[in-house]
Structure 1
Amino acid sequence: MDHPNATNVSTSQSDFSSIFTNRVLPCFYCVVFVVGVPLNVMAAWIFFRVPGVSGFVVYLKNMVVADLLMLSTVPFRVAHDLNLGIGHIRVITCRYTAVLFYFSMFMFGGVSSLHLLQKPRFARLLSLFSWGLFFFLALPNVILTSKTANEQSSRDCMQLKTPLGIKWHKVSVFSNLSVFWLTLVIVVFCYTSIAYQVYKSYRRVGRDSSDVRRKSNRGIFSILAVFFICFVPFHICRVPFTQSQTTSSDFSRNIEFALKQLKEGTIFLSSLNVCLDPVIYFLMCRSFRKLLFRKLSMKHRRRSQTNAQSLSNINRERSTDTLD
């Protein structure tokens, strides 16, 4: 005999899932896409005119590329969540765009230590190594997601993976998690040391260090804020969620459902990175600010010249009419 409470729980979970993952999140992703595309296209246009004279600029250029790749996957995620295109969109999302999304996300962690390097040549080499490493981890997830899709299996990406694909998925997830947490520890340690050294040096020479500390802290906390707001929540919940996906665990259906909702919510937080990164570019890169202000001033100057020319033409036409 079925228990009425079990039926109510299942129904409420299904309703919550359809509202949160199939209605709410797609709307939020659309906002991220609309805001993120112009910001990152503008950032790319500016950065490809900035010479890579430091490890920090190399780092920012890598971030721009990773953000553009992540943005390219958002329309597919929205179509998948809204059940548009049904099977075809779901298969494309599982095999390609979801892998590209995670690849871009983990690249942010992989290249985040580049801005601590002074020599641009070494930063470029490390960035190439990071791209190669994460590509090596991501490519098998595309190749081994090769089972024939049907209405049921296309709803769950894990059902499209071969047995080897499931094992590789777990290996790649824990490898990426290890790189992320290692990078986070390095960045937090280095930034704490930098902030302390800046404060100590200005105390030693007897200068007012309030402005320096404020500027230094602004840059430090902007990067750390992106780490902790966008990526830390996802990497915390990723371990139990992957365990529930890939092993015959003792997770109840209620816990599996909660982990699924938590994972989808934290993935959205990760996507906010594409809107916050341009703020980091503006706050921390002087060359970016100079080129941006120069572009805006040139546009304003051209607009003023056009308005002045139009006004001159109007006055000339009025003078001609008066003479006639």
Structure 2
Amino acid sequence: MNNFTESILNNSESKCHPNADVVTKVLPTLYTLIFIIGFFLNGINLWIFCYIPSNRSFIVYLKNIVVADLLMTLTFPIKIINDAEFGDEQLRLFVCRYSAVVFYLNMYIGIIFLGILGFDRYYKIMRPMNNSSFQNVYHSKVISALIWAGMAFISIPNMILTNQNNDDTTKLTCAKLKSYLGIQWHKASNYICISIFVIVFVLLLTFYVSISRKIYRSHRKFRRGSKAGRKSTRNIYSILIVFFICFVPYHITRIPYTISQTATYGYSCQYKNNLFYIKEVTLLLSAANVCLDPVIYFFMCQPFRQMLFKKLHIEDKLQETEKTFKVSSTQPGLV
């Protein structure tokens, strides 16, 4: 074992652990609630999208988000069992090497595709007569495959390099299972993912401001705004709300938390524990994204709404109710 890894182990030998009730009771309970809601909503979404043809780039990108959210949701039960301390050390090893990596992999894939959706709406309004590669179905499938392959390239080494044996008697942490190269790759991949988030977030803000300015100029010139423009503004605004709720708090916390976990000295036990609590709460908000994304594409995607109503027979019931109302309103003595 090299000196770097050994120093991490020596640091973790101190009795510096977060509050057990928060870690083993509160957080698993909240994750269980998110898992139930997220699995139900994304299961329905996957079912509905199976009936919608991928004849538009917009649909292709939405389907990728559904898959990423569902895969992310499926990692929750393992995390819940592990955090509640119902599993053994082998389960903890599995979480560190595989489950946690899959969680973050799909979270950032979802972030990238939300950014692409924002660009798709932006380009449709700003250049309505032109078609970009993002709006070509074939190209959108190629772009999607490249995103999955690129993020897998960043994430898979975190599985491979989490390869150290746990021969210590203190509580097992994921950092203790990483080699020196694993620690360095973990830090690099963290900074890459944070950069991805920042780029997507800045672009979404830019798209929203640009579309809003165009609608404002159109309103001043013609005394009315573009209906499609207002709709796209609402779409990007809804994505921004999800970003502010789910991802911004976590990414503010992630850099100092990563530094505190990979550094060998200079951080007190209380400071590390406080960062841990903040990181876990903000990570919980990020996980809640799997419950909010379905709401986004319910409002953004008309084919999705139509197919959902069709499968649930809601449209037929509404039409029957409307016909009944019209017939009854024509009867004498009825208002």
Question: Structure 2: where are the runs of 5+ without partners?
Answer: 1-13, 121-134, 321-335
- Which residue number in structure 1 is paired with residue 267 of structure 2? 251
Q: Give the distance between the partners of 2:153 and 2:308, measured in 1 at CA.
A: 36
Distance 1:150-1:26 versus aligned 2 partners, 3 A rule:
farther
The normalised TM-score by structure 2 is: 0.80
Moved more, 179-188 or 74-83: 179-188
The aligned runs of 1:41-190 (5 Å cut-off) are: 41-115=43-117, 116-117=119-120, 118-149=135-166, 152=169, 155-190=172-207
| Residue deviations 1:100-146 (CA, integer Å, cap 9, x gap) | 00111111222223222333333322222211111001101101111
Q: Using structure 1 for the length normalisation, give the TM-score.
A: 0.82
Q: Confirm or deny: 8 A CA contact 1:55 1:114 kept in the other structure.
A: no
How far did 1:55 drift?
2.9
Corresponding residue for residue 3 of structure 1: none
Larger displacement relative to structure 2 (191-200 or 76-85): 191-200
CA shift digits 1:7-30 (9 cap, x unpaired): xxx99x85x621222111100111
Question: In the TM superposition, what whole-angstrom CA distance separates every residue of 1:73-115 from its partner, at most 9, and x where no partner exists?
Answer: 0001001111112212111111110000011111122222322
Instruction: Decide whether aligned partners of structure 1 residues 257 and 298 sit closer, same or farther in structure 2, where only a CA change above 3 A counts.
Output: closer
Which of 253, 268, 278 lines up with 2:294 in the alignment? 278
| Inter-partner Cα distance in structure 1 for 2:37 and 2:245 | 18
Choose 145-154 or 234-243, whichever is displaced more.
145-154
> Could you list the per-position Cα deviations for residues 281-318 of structure 1 after superposition, in whole angstroms to 9, with x for gaps in the alignment?
111110110001111117987xx9xxxxxxxxxxxxxx
Retained in 2: the 8 A contact 1:153–1:159? no
- Given residue 297 of structure 1, which amino acid in structure 2 is its aligned partner? H
Q: Return the match for 1:198 from 190, 215, 219.
A: 215
Q: What is the distance in 2 between the residues matched to 1:205 and 1:90?
A: 62
Number of aligned pairs?
Answer: 290
Q: RMSD between aligned alpha carbons?
A: 2.4
- The one-letter code matched in structure 2 to 1:238 is R
1:19 corresponds to:
21
Distance in 2 of aligned mates of 1:186 and 1:86? 44
**SS at 2:54 equivalent:** coil
1:219 equivalenced with 2:232 (yes/no):
no
Could you tell me how far apart the structure 2 residues matched to 1:152 and 1:103 are?
31
Cα distance in structure 2, aligned partners of 1:294 and 1:205: 38
1:155 partner SS: coil
Q: Deviations over 1:184-222 (max 9, x none)?
A: 111210122123223332442223x49777644432221
Q: How far apart, CA to CA, are the structure 1 residues paired with 2:162 and 2:262? A: 14
Contact 1:91 1:149 in 2 (8 A): no
> Does the aligned pair in 2 maintain the 1:59–1:111 contact within 8 Å?
yes
**Partner residue of 2:33?**
31
In percent, how many aligned pairs have the same letter? 41
Partner of 2:128: none
2:313 match: secondary structure: helix
**1:276 Cα deviation after fit:** 0.4
* More divergent stretch after superposition (188-197 vs 172-181): 188-197
Q: Which residue of 1 aligns with 2:305?
A: 289
Greater helix fraction, Structure 1 or Structure 2: 1
Q: Contact 1:33/1:74 (CA < 8 Å) preserved in 2?
A: yes
Structure 1 pair 158/38, CA: closer, same or farther in 2 (3 Å)?
Answer: same
Partners of 2:171 and 2:106 lie apart in 1 by 23
Q: Which sections of structure 1, spanning at least 5 residues, go unmatched? A: 1-9, 305-324
- The answer to whether structure 1 residue 235 and structure 2 residue 251 are counterparts is yes
CA deviations on 1:46-75 (whole Å, 9 max, x unpaired) are 112222233322221111011011111000
Residue identity in the other structure for 1:233? P
Counterpart AA for 1:87: E
8 Å CA contact 2:24, 2:83 repeated in 1: yes
